[in-house]
């Protein structure tokens, strides 16, 4: 999940981790220590613009659990406190993943509501893109007749992802919504996404129009799009919509912005409605299914390694998977390194991946969010200046060749040396992975003369990813709190 930096929670994440660091430094904890920690957590949440009633209830529940003898008398009380905060934060965000529920009727209808500027139109397009990837045939209905060029914007964005848009120019929004259903039936479209109009503030006319459209098309799902930058005002907005349109779930948009993000933490608690999707970025594929536990872990600086694996699987092509098997067999080349750099870009760049590693978001915040992504372009230029033989066998690149390569790409021998050092480290790591793979597969013939079992890494001949990651440093089993804390400590020491 979530392949970009979560800027909206950066400050909150830093504050919470500072609090946990102080607890870890104390060993045994007293009630006074817990009280100080809870006061710091309360201030961190309030400064992140979380609704004050939500903060009060959250801290009360967390404090009550932290003051038990099981925590205070344990050998690792600080880790227990972090685990409790993680549990309560996960529950605050909804507890479990809430999937989009569609009925068996054709077409299904999904209606989007929200204030103007909340990101409904882009959310509609991203949702259409997601459903199209899942094998659906969506149709977008442009029911915002008030905002200038709203239908044009939807038509342009829909055209970019290959999804048709029904406009109904000149008609009333309710009639456009009705006609879009007929259009979907006529053109064999199985999902209609209705993009409704928003206003700068909640008003009766807007609310009544949303109610009328809902009565006219009887949507299977009503989703409210909420801007993460709304702050505490989000409570009044979602409460009013919940009363009038009784929506089924929430899409949090612009979660990659510089807002404090507290509004997103308040939605579930205030309305009882689940967060179904989060949108972080401008690209069509930046809408992602919301996972409370994984979001909570990222806010607490524990990363989302599962999300990295999912991103890698999504980005992988058949050619890349075959290349991965060859790397395990024959070694790591410069062509492989170039492909890996392209894959990292496709997954959101180093900033996105680092933000999903334990402690990574905190490191990014300490760097002011600055990470030199241009290094990919420099390294690509260096690799493309090599001969085919040099790319295939980097070990033959001596000082004379390095100077020639540097001249060819307009960089310095120092830049080439830096790339060669990176290649050496990655080649060494690939050697370790290859050794693990051979060890896991037995490496020798069994009693009946058969070779060991085939590797079970997904996309790499099948090696078991969880076992491999455990061998590489305990990154499998992400629910194991002790391993998470150990990784976080290791990251900070580095």
Residues contributing to the annotated binding site for GTP: 114-121, 195-199, 253-256
Q: How far apart are CA 403 and CA 394, in angstroms?
A: 14
- Give the residue ranges of DSSP H helices in 48-149: 52-66, 69-72, 77-92, 120-133
The answer to whether 202 and 168 have CB atoms below 8 angstroms apart is: no
239-243 LR contacts (CB < 8 Å, sep 24+):
239/270, 239/271, 240/202, 240/207, 241/113, 241/114, 241/202, 241/207, 241/210, 242/271, 242/273
Computed on alpha carbons and rounded to an integer, the radius of gyration of the chain in Å comes to 26
SS3 297: helix
Q: Give the DSSP H or E segment for 317.
A: none
Taking the CA atoms of residue 202, residue 206, residue 210 and residue 211 in that order, the dihedral angle to the nearest 10 degrees is 90
Q: How far apart are CA 377 and CA 379, in angstroms?
A: 5
SS3 315: helix
The answer to whether 168 and 145 have CB atoms below 8 angstroms apart is: no
Q: How far apart are CA 331 and CA 435, in angstroms?
A: 12
Q: Residues comprising the binding site?
A: 114-121, 195-199, 253-256
For 101: left if phi > 0, alpha if psi spans -120 to 50, otherwise beta; the answer is beta
């Amino acid at each position: 999940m979530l392949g970009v930096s979560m800027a909206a929670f950066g400050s909150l994440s830093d504050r919470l981790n500072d609090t946990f660091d102080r607890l870890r430094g104390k060993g045994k904890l007293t009630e006074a220590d817990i009280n100080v920690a809870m006061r710091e957590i309360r201030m961190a949440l309030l400064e992140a613009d979380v609704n004050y009633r939500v903060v009060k209830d959250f801290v009360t529940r967390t404090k009550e659990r932290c003051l038990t003898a099981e925590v205070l008398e344990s050998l690792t009380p600080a880790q227990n406190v972090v685990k409790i905060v993680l549990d309560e934060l996960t529950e605050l965000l909804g507890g479990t993943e809430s999937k989009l529920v569609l009925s068996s009727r054709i077409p299904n209808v999904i209606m989007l509501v929200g204030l103007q500027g909340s990101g409904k139109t882009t959310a509609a397009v991203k949702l259409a893109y997601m459903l199209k990837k899942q094998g659906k045939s969506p149709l977008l209905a442009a029911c915002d007749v008030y905002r200038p060029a709203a239908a044009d914007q939807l038509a342009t964005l829909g055209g970019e992802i290959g999804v048709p848009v029904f406009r109904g120019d000149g008609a009333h929004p309710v009639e456009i919504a009705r006609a879009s259903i007929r259009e979907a039936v006529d053109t064999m479209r199985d999902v209609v996404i209705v993009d409704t109009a928003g206003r700068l503030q909640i008003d009766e006319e807007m609310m009544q129009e949303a109610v009328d459209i809902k009565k006219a098309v009887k949507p299977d799902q009503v989703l409210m799009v909420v801007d993460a930058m709304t702050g505490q005002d989000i409570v009044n907005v979602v409460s009013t919509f919940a009363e009038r349109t009784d929506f089924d779930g929430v899409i949090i948009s612009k979660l990659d912005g510089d807002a404090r993000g507290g509004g997103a933490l308040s939605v579930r608690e205030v309305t009882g409605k689940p967060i179904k999707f989060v949108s972080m970025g401008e690209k069509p594929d930046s809408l992602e299914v919301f996972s409370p536990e994984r979001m909570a872990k990222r806010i607490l600086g524990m990363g989302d390694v599962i999300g990295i694996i999912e991103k890698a699987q999504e980005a992988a092509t058949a050619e890349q998977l075959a290349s991965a098997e060859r790397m395990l067999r024959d070694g790591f080349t410069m062509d492989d390194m170039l492909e890996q750099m392209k894959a990292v870009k496709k997954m959101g760049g180093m900033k996105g991946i680092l933000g999903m590693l334990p402690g990574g978001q905190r490191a990014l915040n300490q760097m002011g969010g600055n990470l030199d992504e241009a290094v990919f372009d420099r390294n690509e230029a260096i690799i493309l200046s090599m001969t085919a033989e040099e790319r295939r066998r980097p070990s033959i690149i001596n000082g004379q060749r390095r100077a020639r390569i540097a001249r060819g790409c307009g960089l310095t021998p120092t830049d080439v040396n830096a790339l060669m050092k990176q290649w050496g480290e990655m080649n060494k790591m690939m050697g370790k992975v290859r050794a693990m793979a051979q060890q896991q597969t037995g490496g020798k013939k069994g009693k009946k003369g058969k070779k060991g079992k085939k590797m079970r890494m997904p996309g790499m001949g099948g090696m078991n990813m969880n076992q491999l990651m455990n061998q590489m440093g305990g990154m499998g089993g992400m629910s194991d709190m002790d391993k998470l804390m150990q990784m976080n400590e290791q990251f900070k020491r580095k």
